[in-house]
């Protein structure tokens, strides 16, 4: 086993700490901590806007062995605050690799800590009963007990995702049009960008749909001006309850147009709020690619990719909303649809990336609604 002298610490808001080896840029990092159980896809995770302002613990010990490439980005930037790894990053050994993982971290300005007992960290997070904040601090030499105590004192509750509007920092600043359609008069899709993953756009493009991407605070007039036949509310970071009035007004107005609407993750939560349901932060969020969900309509189990810290309360659903999916891990609500309108949303990621593709049938369902609306 590689020997090293500890020069960094991961400190949790409950006072516990873990010694390790610093990675990447030498800068203090603080945020709400979560863990991801995926065995692959670390590049996708780190470039997913939904992870903004979070410290991510990877449960898989072998991070770095497939390197990084120019295709597995979910956005043009990294969004995680920092990373926590069990082992020292391994050397890239994959035909798709274009960059070594450590070099890539440096080039993207990402820092973190490795050689940490991630199993203990994850147990601590899962058993806490509430979201935990954390800080990664690198030192010149082995940190002392006084150093650790100082880090604990520097942390505060402002690091919590609850009450934070992170969407405005990741949404597009201008309207963007993507049109690779080879089908004449293909239905147009409007995407409201709360921090959309590129793979969501790729899945829509597979249907030869012209796509127009809108800022999260766009006006209803600008969205309708592109004459869409369907609207998708994207994934995103932070607390949906913290968004401004303009964001809610857009969703509420969209729901009055009778257009088909699909919500994914954060977009699903925005959809539920606009329809009268309630949201709460989970003690431990869902982050991984092996989450079983039961489809109540089709009576089947779907293995899904998930990444969320907040959940819609099933007991808060108004009369016009019906539960369609539930998590088989903890029974939390994972999907709803409107009983008399072409509107639905899911808490998980049908596009995956990383993860299984079992839930991609939901894009088919959405496009069926879009096609039916286009023909009316």
Q: If you search the block for the tokens 């982050």, which residue do you land on?
A: 287
Q: SS3 for 51? A: helix
CB 57 within 8 A of CB 84: yes
Q: Which of 265, 286, 291, 308 is catalytic?
A: 265
Task: Report which of 12, 8, 15, 68 is spatially closest to residue 40, judged by C-alpha positions.
Answer: 68
Task: Report which of 321, 221, 319 is spatially closest to residue 269, judged by C-alpha positions.
Answer: 321
CB 175 within 8 A of CB 212: yes
In the residue annotation, 351 being an active-site residue is answered as: yes
Classify residue 360 as exposed, middle or buried by CB count within 10 Å of its CB (0-12, 13-18, 19+): middle
Whole-Å CA distances, 3 to 15, 21, 165: 26, 10, 42
- 116's tokens: 């940490």
In the residue annotation, 357 being an active-site residue is answered as: no
Classify residue 139 as exposed, middle or buried by CB count within 10 Å of its CB (0-12, 13-18, 19+): middle
* H or E element that contains 44: helix 42-46
Task: Report which of 110, 2, 130, 127 is spatially closest to residue 56, judged by C-alpha positions.
Answer: 110
Question: Residue 85: phi, psi to the nearest 5?
Answer: -120, 150
CB 273 within 8 A of CB 241: yes
In the residue annotation, 153 being an active-site residue is answered as: no
Whole-Å CA distances, 312 to 107, 209, 231, 284: 38, 30, 20, 14
Query: Which DSSP state fits 281?
Result: E
Question: Distance between CA 66 and CA 18 in Å, rounded?
Answer: 27
Strand partners, 82: 55
Residues marked active site are found at 265, 349, 351
């Amino acid at each position: 086993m590689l020997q090293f002298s500890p020069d960094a610490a991961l400190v949790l808001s409950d006072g516990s700490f873990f010694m390790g080896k610093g990675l990447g840029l030498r800068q203090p990092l603080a945020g709400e901590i979560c863990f991801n159980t995926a065995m692959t896809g670390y590049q996708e995770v780190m470039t997913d806007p939904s992870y903004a302002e979070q410290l991510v613990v990877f449960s898989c010990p072998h991070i770095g062995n497939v390197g990084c490439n120019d295709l597995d980005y979910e956005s043009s930037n990294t969004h995680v605050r920092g990373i926590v790894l069990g082992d020292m990053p391994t050397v890239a050994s994959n035909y798709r690799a274009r960059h070594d993982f450590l070099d890539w971290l440096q080039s993207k300005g990402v820092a973190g800590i490795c050689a940490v007992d991630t199993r203990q960290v994850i147990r601590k997070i899962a058993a806490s009963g509430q979201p935990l904040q954390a800080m990664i601090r690198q030192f010149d030499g082995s940190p002392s007990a006084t150093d650790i105590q100082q880090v604990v004192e520097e942390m505060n509750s402002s690091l919590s995702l609850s009450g934070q509007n992170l969407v405005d920092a990741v949404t597009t600043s201008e309207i963007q049009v993507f049109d690779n359609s080879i089908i004449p008069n293909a239905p147009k899709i409007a995407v409201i960008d709360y921090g959309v993953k590129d793979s969501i756009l790729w899945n829509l493009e597979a249907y030869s749909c012209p796509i127009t991407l809108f800022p999260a605070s766009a006006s209803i007039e600008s969205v309708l001006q592109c004459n869409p036949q369907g609207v998708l509310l994207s994934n995103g970071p932070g607390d949906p309850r913290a968004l401004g009035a303009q964001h809610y007004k857009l969703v509420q107005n969209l729901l009055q147009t009778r257009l088909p609407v699909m919500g994914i993750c954060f977009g699903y939560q925005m959809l539920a709020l606009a329809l009268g349901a309630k949201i709460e932060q989970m003690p431990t969020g869902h982050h991984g690619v092996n989450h079983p969900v039961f489809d109540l309509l089709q009576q089947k189990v779907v293995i899904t990719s998930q990444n969320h810290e907040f959940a819609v309360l099933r007991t808060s659903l108004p009369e016009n909303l019906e539960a369609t999916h539930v998590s088989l891990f903890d029974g939390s609500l994972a999907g709803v649809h409107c009983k008399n309108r072409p509107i639905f949303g899911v808490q998980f990621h049908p596009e995956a990336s990383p993860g299984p593709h079992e839930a991609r049938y939901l894009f088919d369902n959405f496009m069926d609604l879009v096609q039916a609306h286009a023909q009316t």
